[in-house]
Structure 1
């Protein structure tokens, strides 16, 4: 039985090797699913087991400077990714309608492949969001949804760019998501920089609207596929998954919008909060996907409950 199972694994590995697009096969973390899967499993293990036990008898780290550098670095990285997506097709040759996955070997095609790979790699860098939570003893913010999102996103993108590295209409959501990350991480960078920057964060209340706009754009763009007379996109499954993703998160964020801004079911933020495990309470916003504004700053009651607030990006 063991030999038979091993045989199936080897056959699957050979199949994946044969299906991997040769134009991206030599990029880091693209030779096969083993490396990236190992990293993501280690991330989950660290997030829910190793990290909390490592910090249990330690005081939380401040990491203020590291968080400022990290957030602003993410602004620059995501801005560059957006620029590359635009320059490689979306602002030059793409129609914004039935753009097929590019199978050519032109310089512009390879530029699009690099942009898609950078977006994929950026999802691994974002795992540091959780590392900051752990080292600052904000374990209550590391929800199932948070870990699920951070681990499944890069895992699913490996499969996407393995088959279609220059994905045409299938990579529009990546460009939009990177654009939203520019705004979000800029906000987090200013917030982490200290109280003197609070006066520049007046636009915090528009964060959820930015999220909703993102999912509307993604859903409207990808849904064109179902109304076109003919669009022979090579991997229709990507179209279906992207539409499901956009609609699901639009509904999720819309529910939050109704609860927070129409029904007013937001708990008030107290003027002062007790210290917990040696760290002072900080302003927090909880999120639908498990992330939190301020990259993990949160106010806790002594009973361990978290104050609910705004939503972060997906």
Structure 2
């Protein structure tokens, strides 16, 4: 993986994350302080469309190799044979996608939608990128395959929803689909957590246990945050309507 841009050193990982947070908390608000929100509807539409295509194409490429993996244990793919090179490239593609996800936040800043930049939003974007970079650099392929597979599918569906609501603002305010998108994200995390747990308790699985523990801990945090969002947003709304 050393031959790929941004994959040579952890310092590149740290620099990207720090730059992201500097823009979100300092540079972005400073640039927008005395400006009106930018009208970026066309940019947002194109961004969502590009995310749909990129995620779905990557998902299909990943799914075509499903038979090479086992939910009980998928070893790190560190060979220089054709299959190892394919998985390394797919993993690298996924890392680039996680950097591209940061554009989401940049667009929120430029449109002055600071209410969308929650702790969950920032934690999810930064930690998924952090974990994907670490696994791509040191443990390409292997058990992390299941996260990339599930995440690209869910993101293709999620950005399809975003694209539709962007083009129809009336529907966006009353859409019943939004809660299902959040629920899908929770289900995705739970399933991947269970798959990681199977490898973790398998004594004959050589996939690094410490990384499985670290990733699982992050999945638990994200499950908690997404569940909290779901309950506060939808369960509370339902109770108000019932009253």
The TM-score, its normalising length taken from structure 1, stands at 0.69
Q: Is the 8 A contact 1:68 1:189 kept in 2?
A: yes
Greater share of residues in helix = 2
2:18 aligns with one of 19, 38, 41: 41
Q: Which runs of 5+ in 2 are unaligned?
A: none
Contact 1:47/1:147 (8 A) holds in 2: no
Task: Identify the residue that residue 188 of structure 2 maps to in structure 1.
Answer: 214
Residue 124 of structure 1: CA displacement? 0.8
Which residue of 2 is the match for residue 194 of structure 1? 168
Q: Which residue in 2 is equivalent to 1:151?
A: 126
Larger radius of gyration: 1
Separation in 2, partners of 1:165, 1:211: 23
The whole-number CA distance in structure 2 between the counterparts of 1:114 and 1:161 is 9
Output the CA distance in 1 between the equivalents of 2:62 and 2:43. Answer: 28
Matched residue of 1:96: which SS?
A: coil
- Greater relative contact order structure (CA < 8 Å, 6+ sep): 2
Q: Which residue in the other structure is 2:222 paired with?
A: 249
Q: 2:52 aligns with which of 57, 75, 96?
A: 75
**Which of 195, 198, 202 is residue 224 of structure 1 equivalent to?**
198
TM-score (norm 2): 0.87
Is 2:112 the counterpart of 1:137?
A: yes
Q: Give distance in 1, aligned partners of 2:52 and 2:183.
A: 19
Match of 1:170 in 2: 144
Question: Could you tell me whether the CA contact under 8 Å between 1:177 and 1:214 is conserved in 2?
Answer: yes
Match of 1:127 among 102, 113, 127: 102
Contact 2:76–2:207 (CA under 8 A) maintained in structure 1: yes
> CA offset at residue 31 of structure 1?
1.4
Alignment of 1:253-264 (within 5 A): 253-264=226-237
In 2 relative to 1, CA 93–121 (structure 1 residues): closer, same or farther, beyond 3 Å?
Answer: same
Deviation at 1:231, TM superposition (A): 2.4
Task: Kindly indicate whether residue 199 of structure 2 is the aligned counterpart of residue 237 of structure 1.
Answer: no
Number of matched pairs? 241
Q: Is the 8 A contact 2:37 2:112 kept in 1?
A: yes
Using the TM superposition, name which of 201-210 and 28-37 deviates more.
201-210
Is contact 1:101–1:169 with CA below 8 Å preserved after alignment? yes
Quote the Cα distance in structure 2 between the aligned partners of 1:200 and 1:56.
31
In structure 1, C-alpha distance between the alignment counterparts of 2:139 and 2:47, rounded to whole Å: 30
Cα deviations across residues 180-212 of structure 1 (Å, max 9, x unaligned)?
A: 111111111111113476699553331222122
In structure 1, runs of 5+ residues without a counterpart are 1-23, 269-314
**TM-aligned CA distance change 1:152 to 1:93, over 3 Å:** closer
Q: CA RMSD in A?
A: 2.6
Conserved 8 A contact 2:74-2:207 = no
**Counterpart-to-counterpart distance in 1, 2:106 and 2:29:** 10
Task: Kindly indicate whether the alpha-carbon contact (under 8 Å) linking 1:259 and 1:265 is maintained by their aligned counterparts in 2.
Answer: no
Between 188-197 and 113-122, report the one with greater CA deviation: 188-197
Distance 2:159 2:179 in 1: 15
Q: Confirm or deny: 8 A CA contact 1:173 1:218 kept in the other structure.
A: yes
| TM-superposed deviation, 1:30 | 0.9
Flag the 1:246–1:155 CA change in 2: closer, same or farther, 3 A: closer
